[in-house]
Amino acid sequence: MYTTLISATDLAKNIDKLQWVALDCRHDLVDATAGQKAYDAGHLPNARFAHLDNKLSGAKMAANGAFHGRHPLPDKQEFIHTLRSWGVDDSSQVIAYDAHGGMYAARLWWMLRWVGHKAVAVLDGGMAAWTAENLPLTDKVPNVVLRGGVSAKTGLVSQVNVADVLANLATASRTLVDARAPDRFRGENETIDPVGGHIPGARNRFFKDNLQADGRFKPAEQLRSEWAAILPDSGKAIMQCGSGVTACHNLLALEVAGLPGAALYPGSWSEWCAEPARPVATGSEA
């Protein structure tokens, strides 16, 4: 069972097995059609396409009109139905991949764990690692074999909501870590959300700092050392980013490092900054 990362070599040995399900998570925050186009041009054999906006996110607005961020989690049962439509069942080994260092694949990794499915891993190095090994691509859409389905299980991860994060401002009992690029964290060059800055008290760990130059994750020992300098206790940490996507990359890095237990704030900065009454900090962290 693979539960964090898998190499291209190991994936190639297993990708044709019926119980293995590869999911293509390529995406572009500026062009929502880019991932589908890339998939259509060529993808891993038997891979299904998992669109961030349509399959890995839910409604942005709640029934009461509250904005939950740019990529809120979907209804859990709807997501389980989506997994079943991809042919995922309780025995499946799921592999998520993208072409962006795992920034989107990690979201799917976290969501599988959210519904209690442990056998899910991210292709380390993504498409670049696959093609570097001269492994095959195809433009054929697979015929999905619908199997028993994913049963409802206890989640393997935790999450917090905006009220929890707001309450933490007073107690600072949990360490909040923002996965966005340092300039956006400081409130500079904000082009995605309407307000620049960060949640007061947050620390910055750019998700790309989890990677080596070739796009693969750093060794576990190195990640553990780097993260230990940021988090006194991973079990009392909250990961966030712009919209709850790249925060999952930091959560995956923590799992690789052997530092589990941090929670995800799905709404992240996009939800936080939508309410003017919530405080905003700018500049570098203290």
Is 171 found in the same domain as 65? no
- Cα angle value 249/255/261 (rounded, 5°): 100
Do the Cβ atoms of 41 and 11 come closer than 8 Å? no
Residue 153 lies in a domain: no
pLDDT of 147-198, one tens digit each?
777 888 999 999 999 999 999 999 999 999 999 999 999 999 999 999 999 9
**What pLDDT score was predicted for residue 285?**
66
Question: Tokens standing for 267?
Answer: 């709404």
**What pLDDT score was predicted for residue 147?**
77
Task: Provide the CATH number for the domain around residue 113.
Answer: 3.40.250.10
**What pLDDT score was predicted for residue 150?**
87
25 a catalytic residue = no
pLDDT grade, residue 126 (50/70/90)?
very high
Is 121 found in the same domain as 19? yes
Residue 138 lies in a domain: no
Is 198 found in the same domain as 99? no
**What pLDDT score was predicted for residue 222?**
98
Is 74 found in the same domain as 31? yes
Q: What residues form DSSP beta bridges with 95? A: 22, 121
Q: Give the residue numbers spanning the domain of 86.
A: 5-132
End of a domain among 132, 154, 183?
A: 132
End of a domain among 85, 110, 132?
A: 132
Do the Cβ atoms of 235 and 214 come closer than 8 Å? no
Say what the pTM is.
0.96
Is 42 found in the same domain as 126? yes
Q: Which amino acid is at 240?
A: Q
- Rounded to an integer, what distance in angstroms lies between the CA atom of residue 121 and that of residue 259? 17
Q: Where are the beta strands (DSSP E) in 153-221?
A: 175-178, 203-204
Count of structural domains, the chain: 2
Is 268 found in the same domain as 204? yes
- Rounded to an integer, what distance in angstroms lies between the CA atom of residue 85 and that of residue 265? 27
- Rounded to an integer, what distance in angstroms lies between the CA atom of residue 198 and that of residue 181? 11
pLDDT of 219-237, one tens digit each?
999 999 999 999 999 999 9
Is 106 found in the same domain as 191? no
User: Number of C-alpha atoms within 13 angstroms, CB side, residue 139?
Assistant: 4
**What pLDDT score was predicted for residue 151?**
87
Question: Tokens standing for 187?
Answer: 């409130």
- Rounded to an integer, what distance in angstroms lies between the CA atom of residue 90 and that of residue 84? 10
Q: Which amino acid is at 210?
A: N
Q: Tell me what the pLDDT averaged over the chain comes to.
A: 95
- b/e 61-99 (16+ beta carbons within 10 angstroms → b): eeeeeeebbbbbbbeeeebbebbbebbbbeebbbbbbbb
Residue 144 lies in a domain: no
pLDDT of 46-84, one tens digit each?
999 999 999 999 988 887 878 899 999 999 999 999 999
